[in-house]
Structure 1
Amino acid sequence: MASVIVTVYDHPQDFPHGYVARAHIIAHGGKSAYVSPMIYIGRETLDEVRAAIPPDMVKMIRHPQDDPAILETYI
């Protein structure tokens, strides 16, 4: 069993020319979360990134203490 969390970033340091959505996969019963820099969607516009996120995911509002590059998170 696993859960997927997608975090959307606004021009992060490693992708300064656009927006990125990164998948964070959490294995239930495992010791820790698995995060791969290879599991991402990079696009020039925020709308293009949002269009690539599965429609059954729910958007969460960002926390004020999040990194400023983080725009939103989906579960």
Structure 2
Amino acid sequence: MSMDYIRNYYDVPAKCGGRIRYSGNRQPIEGTIVAAQGAHLLIRLDGDDHEMPYHPTWKIEYLPDAPVAQPLTMWVITQNPSDHPGQFVARQWIIGGNGNSATAEHHVADTLDQVRAMLPPFLTMIPRDPRDDRVIVESWI
């Protein structure tokens, strides 16, 4: 039998890597689902170095997945950058996760107002910091 079988037959959200709380001992303890074995889940309880079989519905509470941090999207407007001399460019940046990086998404215009009009709605402007590169005009989040 498989993890799919256990999910469907017992109507539980079991999955490899999923977190549970087992309350069949004196103190509830959390653990991680490692695999399926027949109609049982192989679970490694926190602090143990091996997994044991557990019935999918007996004293098992399925914990929600940990929230995944979403990176921040930001637009940086530059004036007269080397790849578009004499123009304004709004580039989308992804901030966070594995560092900061520009995406391929960008807009080019002749004036600041034109390039601002190309930005997505409902953004907030952050003024240029004196320490920013001299081509940066402003940023939007």
- Category of TM-score, reference length = shorter chain: 0.7 to 0.9
Match of residue 10 from structure 1: 79
Deviation at 1:6, TM superposition (A): 0.3
Distance 2:124 2:118 in 1: 13
Distance 2:88 2:98 in 1: 30
What is the identity, as a one-letter code, of the residue corresponding to 1:6?
Answer: W
RMSD: 1.4
* Structure of greater relative contact order (alpha carbons < 8 Å, 6+ residues apart): 1
Query: Within 5 Å, which residues of 2 pair with 1:36-51?
Result: 36=103, 38-51=104-117
Query: Within 5 Å, which residues of 2 pair with 1:1-75?
Result: 1-26=70-95, 30-36=97-103, 38-75=104-141
Per-residue deviation, residues 8-55 of structure 1 (Å, max 9, x unmatched):
00111111031000000235xx3223422x211011111110001122
SS state at 2:115 partner: helix
Any gaps of 5 or more consecutive residues in structure 2? 1-69
Q: TM-score, normalised by structure 1?
A: 0.84
Comparing both structures, which one devotes a greater share of its residues to strand? Answer: 1
Q: TM-score, normalised by structure 2?
A: 0.47
Distance 2:127 2:136 in 1: 10
Radius of gyration: which is bigger?
Answer: 2
Aligned residues: 72
Q: Identity percentage over the alignment?
A: 33
SS state at 1:9 partner: strand
